[in-house]
């Protein structure tokens, strides 16, 4: 898949403990995005945050939280994101879903059979940047273009 120039990004903020049919909600959203053939999706685990309930969730040792913030970022063309948006938003019963237009500068894929990241790239919107990646078969520890990230042994 080739993705360059104008695109759209969905960012979904949920809690790590949010579930969909006994599975992590973030995994369900990523798997559905993959099934729909979207360009890429990544899940990022936050170390601290709060949302609509104004309760702070943190990874600090003194206040162990089992519900750390999670951000799911999905990037593709505006048409494909718009077609997926309602499905993704219906899964989120507590959280935040934002959509913004971005400009994809680079989107380059690796070989799907090697265990390397199947898609990486960066999309920049209004002064922000987000990386996307999807791993063939899992094992994704973070964006493939980050030092030490991408895949695990």
Return the exposure string of 13-32: e unless at least 16 CB atoms fall within 10 Å of the residue's CB, then b: bbbbebebeeebbbebbbeb
pLDDT of residue 112: 55
Helices 25-35 and 78-91, interaxial angle, to 10°? 150
Domain residue spans in the chain? 5-135
- Answer whether residue 151 shows pLDDT above 90: no
The pLDDT value recorded for residue 107 is 87
Which tens digit of pLDDT belongs to each residue from 113-140? 444 343 444 444 444 334 433 333 333 3
Strand (E) or helix (H) holding 138: none
Residue 73 in this model has a pLDDT that exceeds 70: yes
pLDDT, position 64: 58
Mean pLDDT of 56-75: 77
Asked: is 5-135 a CATH 3.30.70.120 domain? The reply is: yes
Q: Residue 55: which H helix or E strand, with range?
A: none
Q: Is the pLDDT of residue 108 over 50?
A: yes
Q: Sign of the C-alpha dihedral, residues 130, 126, 14, 27?
A: negative
- pLDDT tops 70 at residue 104: yes
Look at 1-15, 27-41, 59-73, 99-113 and tell me which has the smallest mean pLDDT: 59-73
């Amino acid at each position: 898949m080739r993705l360059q120039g104008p695109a759209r990004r969905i960012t979904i903020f949920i809690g790590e403990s949010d579930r969909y049919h006994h599975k992590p909600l973030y995994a369900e959203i990523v798997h559905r995005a993959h099934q729909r053939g979207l360009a890429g999706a990544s899940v990022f685990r936050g170390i601290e945050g709060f949302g609509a309930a104004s309760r702070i969730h943190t990874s600090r040792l003194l206040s162990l939280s089992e519900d750390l913030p999670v951000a799911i970022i999905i990037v593709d063309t505006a048409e494909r994101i718009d077609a997926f948006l309602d499905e993704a938003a219906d899964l989120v019963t507590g959280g935040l879903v934002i959509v913004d237009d971005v400009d994809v500068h680079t989107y380059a894929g690796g070989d799907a059979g090697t265990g390397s990241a199947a898609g990486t790239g960066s999309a920049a919107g209004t002064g922000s940047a987000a990386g996307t990646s999807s791993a063939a078969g899992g094992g994704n520890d973070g964006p493939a273009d980050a030092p030490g990230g991408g895949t695990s042994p």
